[in-house]
Structure 1
Amino acid sequence: MLKHPLGKKLINWHRYKHNFTLENMPQNVKSKIALEQLVSTILLPIEQAFSAPRITYGFTSHELKNYIQKHSPRGTSPSIDQHSAYEKNSVGKQICSRGGAACDFFVESVPTSDIVRIITQKLNYDRIYYYGNNRPLHVSIHLTEPLKHLQIMCESENGRRYPGKKAFGEQAVVLAEGL
C-alpha cells in the first residue's frame, strides 16, 4: 500500500511544504502496518467516493518531526497527533503515545463535512478533527482500538483553535450529520 500513489503521497507530503531533504520513511514495522491501513481503510475509500485526496500533512518520521518542531511548530502536537505512527524518538520512546497513524487532507471542490459524514457512517477510523468546510480534515486510524471520535474544532477571534462539540461512535454519526 505504501507504493500506491496515495501511500507515496502520505510519505512524501512534506516535499511540497518543507525544505527537508532527508528520507521520510517509517522504521517501525507497526508504523508501516498502520500507514498501510490508513491508505486502505480511509484514503482509498475517499478516493473512490469523491476523487484523490490531497494530503497536506502525512506521516512524520522522527527526523521530519524535529525539523518541523524547529522551523514551523504552530498547530502541531507530536505527542498526541498520530502523524508519527509508532515511530520512536532518539531515546527509544514512542513519539505519539496513541499509536495508530494519521493524515490531514482535503478533496478539491468537496466540502469537508461531506467527507466527515462518509467516514463516520462507513469507515473504521480512530479520530477525526474537523476544522471547517474549507480546511483540511485530520483523520487517524488505530490498529486495535479505534475510538470513532469526532471532534469539532473552533477558532477564536485571534486565530487560536479550541475544541468544540465532540462525540463517539453512533453519536459521532449524528454530530457529523449536523455539520
Structure 2
Amino acid sequence: MKDVKLGKYLTLESFCTCTQTYQKYATQINPYPDSQISIVAIQALNQWIIDPIIDHFGLEQFQLTYGFCSKDLKRFLEKKDPITGLKNGRVAPNLDQHIAHEVKKNGRYYCERLGAACDCQIKDLDSGELVDWIIAQKLPFDSLYFYGQNRPIHLSYGPQNKGDIWTFNAAGLPTKKGTERWKKEGR
C-alpha cells in the first residue's frame, strides 16, 4: 500500500508519514487510510493541487508537513507529550479534511465535508507568495488556511470546492481578516 502513487510525485507513504508526531511515535501508529475512497480523495488532492505546485516550484523545494491523519495519528495528536505536557498537535478532524473519507465505528464520516487536505510550504518562499500563486493559477481548492508568512499553509480539495481562505488571529481562531488581497484576485 505504501508504494501507491498519489500523483506525479508523492507516494501514499510520504503523504501519510510526514508529520512530526508520526515520526515520534511511528512504531505505535498505523498511518494509512482504512478506506480506498480516502486514497482516491488524496489522489485527487495531488492531481489538482499538489502536482501543479510541485510542477512550478520543484520537488526539491516542496515541503509536506502534514498529509493524511489516520485514526491512530488522530489519537496521538490529541494526547499530551509526557515530557513537555503539551498536546502533540492541533487536530480538527470534523473540519479540516486531513482524515479524508474515513468512517467512525458508528458508520458516520469523521469529516462530513469529505475530500482530502495537506499542509505544505515552499522552501525559501514567503507563504503569502505561495497563496498569491495558487490564486493566480485558479487552483480548485476547497479551503486554504494561511497561518503566517513563514509557516506552512493548509490546502484541501473536495466536492464542495468552496475556495474559502482563512487566516488565524492571535488566539488561534479562524478569521477572514487579512484575506482581502486574495479575495480581490480570487474566484
- Same-fold call, TM cutoff 0.5: yes
Instruction: Work out the CA distance in 2 between the residues paired with 1:173 and 1:119.
Output: 12
Q: Among 117, 127, 132, which residue is 1:102 paired with?
A: 117
Instruction: Work out the CA distance in 1 between the residues paired with 2:75 and 2:152.
Output: 23
The match for 1:51 is 58
Structure 2: give runs of 5+ residues left out of the alignment. 81-86
Cα displacement string for residues 106-143 of structure 1 (whole angstroms, at most 9, x for unaligned residues): 1110111111112223211000000111011011000x
Q: Among 10, 21, 28, which residue is 1:6 paired with?
A: 10
**Matches for 1:1-179 after TM superposition, within 5 Å:** 1-2=5-6, 5-7=9-11, 8-14=13-19, 17-21=23-27, 22-52=29-59, 53-71=62-80, 72=87, 74-122=89-137, 123-142=139-158, 144-155=159-170, 160-165=171-176, 172-174=182-184
Structure 1: give runs of 5+ residues left out of the alignment. none
Please tell me whether the aligned partners of residues 97 and 113 of structure 2 are also in contact (alpha carbons under 8 angstroms).
Answer: yes
Instruction: Work out the CA distance in 2 between the residues paired with 1:34 and 1:175.
Output: 27
Q: Which amino acid aligns with 2:76?
A: Y
What is the aligned-residue RMSD (CA, Å)?
2.6
Query: What secondary structure does 1:116 align onto?
Result: helix
Q: Which amino acid aligns with 1:6?
A: L
Instruction: Quote the offset at 1:42 in angstroms.
Output: 1.2
Counterparts in 2 of 1:113 and 1:87: CA distance versus 1, 3 Å: same
Query: What secondary structure does 1:18 align onto?
Result: helix
Number of aligned residues: 170
Instruction: Work out the CA distance in 2 between the residues paired with 1:167 and 1:128.
Output: 13
Please tell me whether the aligned partners of residues 13 and 55 of structure 1 are also in contact (alpha carbons under 8 angstroms).
Answer: yes
Greater strand proportion: 1
Cα displacement string for residues 53-83 of structure 1 (whole angstroms, at most 9, x for unaligned residues): 2111110111221122124354321111110
Query: Could you tell me the TM-score, scaled by structure 2's length?
Result: 0.79
More displaced 10-residue stretch of structure 1: 74-83 or 108-117: 74-83
Aligned-pair identity (%): 29
